[in-house]
Chain A
Amino acid sequence: MGAGKRARGEGNRLEPEPSDRAPSDLSLLARARSGDLEAYGQLVERHMRRAFSIAYRILRHREDAEDVVQDAFIRTLEHIDRIELARGFQPWLYRVVTNRAVSFLRARSVRATNPLDEDLHRARTPAPDRVTERHELREDLLRALDSLPDRQRTIVLLADLEGFTSGEIGEILEMPAGTVRYQLHLARRALRVILAHTVEEER
């Protein structure tokens, strides 16, 4: 592995601007716009892990998530002149990642027969002595999450799993923060209902 590991999921926000020594996203973006691929490489290095995390939460498949990240960075570079400097690089990139991942998921769901991905079963199936209620809850949760509309599922993933604020999600998905909060409220309520039904059925 060429890069160090980084804690994820807990209290994550859009990354703060780097320290005084490192160039800001804005300056790297300006250089990349003028054709400086080295500068773009620094932006890639800085944000590819978070981009992968978002893509993986949506797709739950490592190779697919890597493909989406690669595609998103290339598309972002191709449209780099359109990025509003005032809004910054990250919301634009994460919007492309999110949209590409959701599109990828739709295409895959048309092809696939099993909605639950193989990665999770291969890498995260617990040991036999730990196949308990928690395992069942996990499966129930994934199914409940998958049953949400794309937009609500994405908001839950970004808010509850990736730790973005509603304002940040609004910038990524291009909607008002209030709409994000309302959609998140609807999504959580739907999850509660689905999970309540599931628990009832299992009793």
Chain B
Amino acid sequence: MTEETDRNEPDRLGPMDEEWRRTLRAATAPPMDEVDWASLRHAIISEAERRLEAPRAPVYRTVSRWSSRGIPVAAAALLAACLVLWTLPATGSSGDAAPPGFWPVAEELVRGLPDETRQILDASTDVESMIRAMVASAAEEG
């Protein structure tokens, strides 16, 4: 950003405006001395840690990432659920192998997506390949 954008400022302040600007600036001056900055910073970081460590955080991040690529949030959430099924030890997943009953559920989920979402996911033909690629991508991206 530069100051050049203001070169053509069409509304320069007059003396009267300067006075009200000074007055307004003083009237709304932030009370910087009254803020406990260390506590505020600590509160922000603590909350950030709590959110990141929450059990839903990996799913949340995955949904957020996919939705930012243009995948509707609902679809991203369903696909993130697929990932959870895939990676959750309790489901019997062994890493490379999907847990029992995974593929029918995943296929149904993907086939239920809108066409344009399926195009984004490149899921027109091979659902299994697409899901495997997404699992690998999510694992790679953390």
- Interface of B, secondary structure class, is helix
Q: Is the CB of A5 within 8 A of B44?
A: no
Q: Does B21 contact A (CB under 8 A)?
A: yes
Q: Does A57 contact B (CB under 8 A)?
A: yes
Q: Is the CB of B65 within 8 A of A9?
A: no
**Which residue of chain A has its CB nearest to the CB of B19?**
A137
Least Cβ–Cβ distance between A171 and chain B, in angstroms: 7
Tell me which residues from 133 to 189 in chain A have a Cβ below 8 Å from any Cβ of chain B: 134, 137-138, 141-142, 145, 157, 160-161, 165-168, 170-171, 177, 181-182, 184-185, 188-189
Once A1-B33, A123-B31, A170-B5 are accepted as A-B contacts, the answer to whether A77 and B41 lie under 8 Å apart by CB is no
Q: Is the CB of B1 within 8 A of A166?
A: no
- Interface of A, secondary structure class, is helix
Least Cβ–Cβ distance between A108 and chain B, in angstroms: 16
Q: Is the CB of A78 within 8 A of B64?
A: yes
Place the interface of chain B in its size category.
Answer: 35 or more
Q: Is the CB of B65 within 8 A of A66?
A: no
B residues whose Cβ falls under 8 Å from a Cβ of A: 1-6, 8-11, 13, 16-17, 19-21, 23-41, 43-45, 47-49, 51-52, 60-61, 64-65, 68, 142
